[in-house]
């Protein structure tokens, strides 16, 4: 292969560890700037953003999960209504178009057939403006949108997406902050604070990667299981979805993600000592709710594997294993909590001896329907 593996065994492993630099490259223009400018998204962006009253995100797979995270940010920080749709569903519905809705296509490859078709369909329906968040400058997606932002993750070889996802999240957070600024939701001081927060991200990712030795130990027992449940709440629910997707893609363990509040509406019936439950437990405003969900798992003899913040105050016990990241990272938290989930999937796949970079039946880009 043209791209060297260097000290790594797999491209996926290399790409997981490249995330601090991939994100730093993606946000480089912001790091060097004193303020945030809509021009980062193209010369027409200022005009388009002024007219934008809501957002429609179209994507597939991991890119769809990035969109789901962005919805929480766009609502909370920019005060913008946001819909996130699976491209292959959207293109066959009869949605109602609105010229003031900005359509955002998210795609690593920029060649996913359903995402391209959904975007075209949205235009045909009467959506006026579109923006691409994409990793490949010469892709079809980039050519068919009015605005664009390139994730500068570099080539991603592993079929299971890692650095493309975190750079998409970084880009979507930047989009959120830009729209918030234009909608007068940020004071000059808030804007400076946001720039500082974004500058801190590569270092915070580097720190999150340090949990690897602890995750490796968990992977040994995980690899013996046939099913796993991933729980999260709020902005971390899509991160649970992404964690479950990573595990099933490369280790072939059946993994499902649930919004923790839905536990008692079904999945609790599955919980026993054969079903590990992974929970994402950052110290945010939903932590108290999540803890009572975890208690329900505990009471049914389930085995919990919790990724918490240093200040989440969740104690280890016989059936409750805890790995702590740094203190709660606010808006960056979903990006940071992605890292241990990628590492978990990777190490479980290693124990199982599966083809990490080329999992069976999957393709890097799905260019046919």
Binding site for ligand G6P (CB under 6 A): 60-63, 107-109, 112, 115, 159-161, 362, 364-366
Residue 104: half-sphere exposure toward Cβ, Cα within 13 Å:
30
The three-state DSSP-derived secondary structure of 207-253 is HHHHHHHHHHHHHHHHCCCCEEEEEECHHHHHHHHHHHHHHHHHHCC
**Smaller CB separation from ligand G6P, 163 or 337:** 163
Residue 17: half-sphere exposure toward Cβ, Cα within 13 Å:
13
**Smaller CB separation from ligand G6P, 103 or 159:** 159
Instruction: Give φ, ψ of 273 to 5 degrees.
Output: -75, -5
CB of 282 to ligand G6P, least distance (A): 24
CB of 255 to ligand G6P, least distance (A): 15
**Smaller CB separation from ligand G6P, 108 or 176:** 108
What gap in Å lies between CA 239 and CA 232, rounded to an integer? 7
CB of 102 to ligand G6P, least distance (A): 19
CB of 15 to ligand G6P, least distance (A): 11
Report helix angle 188-208 to 333-352, nearest 10.
20
Phi-psi category of 61—alpha, beta or left, where left has phi over 0 and alpha has psi -120 to 50?
left
Q: Is 364 tagged catalytic?
A: yes
Instruction: Give φ, ψ of 146 to 5 degrees.
Output: -75, -40
**Smaller CB separation from ligand G6P, 30 or 245:** 245
Judge contact between 257 and 278, C-beta under 8 A: no
Judge contact between 27 and 168, C-beta under 8 A: no
CB of 66 to ligand G6P, least distance (A): 9
Residues in the chain: 369
From the candidates 225, 248, 358, 364, give the one annotated as an active-site residue.
Answer: 364
**Smaller CB separation from ligand G6P, 300 or 364:** 364
Largest CA distance in the chain: 57
Residues annotated as catalytic are 364
């Amino acid at each position: 292969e043209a791209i060297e593996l260097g000290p790594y065994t797999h491209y996926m492993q290399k790409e997981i560890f490249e995330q601090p630099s991939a994100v730093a490259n993606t946000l480089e223009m912001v790091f060097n700037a004193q303020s945030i400018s809509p021009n980062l998204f193209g010369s027409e962006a200022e005009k388009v953003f002024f007219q934008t009253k809501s957002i429609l995100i179209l994507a597939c797979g991991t890119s769809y999960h990035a969109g789901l995270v962005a919805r929480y940010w766009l609502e909370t920080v920019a005060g913008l209504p946001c819909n996130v749709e699976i491209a292959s569903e959207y293109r066959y519905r009869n949605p109602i178009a609105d010229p003031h809705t900005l359509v955002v296509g998210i795609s690593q490859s920029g060649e996913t057939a359903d995402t391209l078709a959904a975007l075209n369909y949205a235009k045909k329906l009467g959506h006026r403006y579109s923006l691409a968040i994409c990793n490949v400058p010469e892709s079809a997606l980039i050519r068919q949108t009015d605005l664009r932002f390139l994730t500068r993750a570099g080539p991603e070889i592993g079929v299971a997406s890692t650095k493309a996802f975190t750079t998409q999240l970084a880009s979507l957070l930047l989009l959120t902050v830009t729209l918030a600024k234009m909608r007068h939701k940020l004071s000059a001081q808030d804007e400076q604070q946001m720039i500082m927060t974004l500058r801190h991200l590569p270092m915070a990712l580097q720190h999150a990667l340090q949990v690897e030795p602890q995750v490796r130990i968990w992977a040994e027992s995980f690899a013996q299981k046939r099913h796993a449940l991933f729980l999260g709440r709020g902005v971390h629910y899509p991160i649970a979805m992404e964690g479950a997707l990573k595990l099933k893609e490369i280790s072939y363990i059946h993994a499902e993600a649930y919004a923790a509040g839905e536990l008692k509406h079904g999945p609790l019936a599955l919980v026993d000592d054969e079903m590990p439950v992974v929970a994402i437990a950052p110290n945010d405003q939903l932590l108290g709710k999540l803890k009572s969900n975890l208690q329900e798992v505990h009471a049914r003899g389930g085995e919990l594997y919790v990724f918490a913040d240093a200040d989440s105050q969740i104690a280890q016990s016989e059936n409750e294993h805890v790995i702590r990241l740094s203190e709660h990272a606010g808006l960056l938290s979903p990006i940071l909590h992605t890292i241990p989930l990628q590492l978990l999937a990777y190490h479980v796949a290693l124990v199982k001896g599966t083809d990490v970079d080329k999992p069976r039946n999957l393709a890097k880009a799905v260019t046919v329907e």
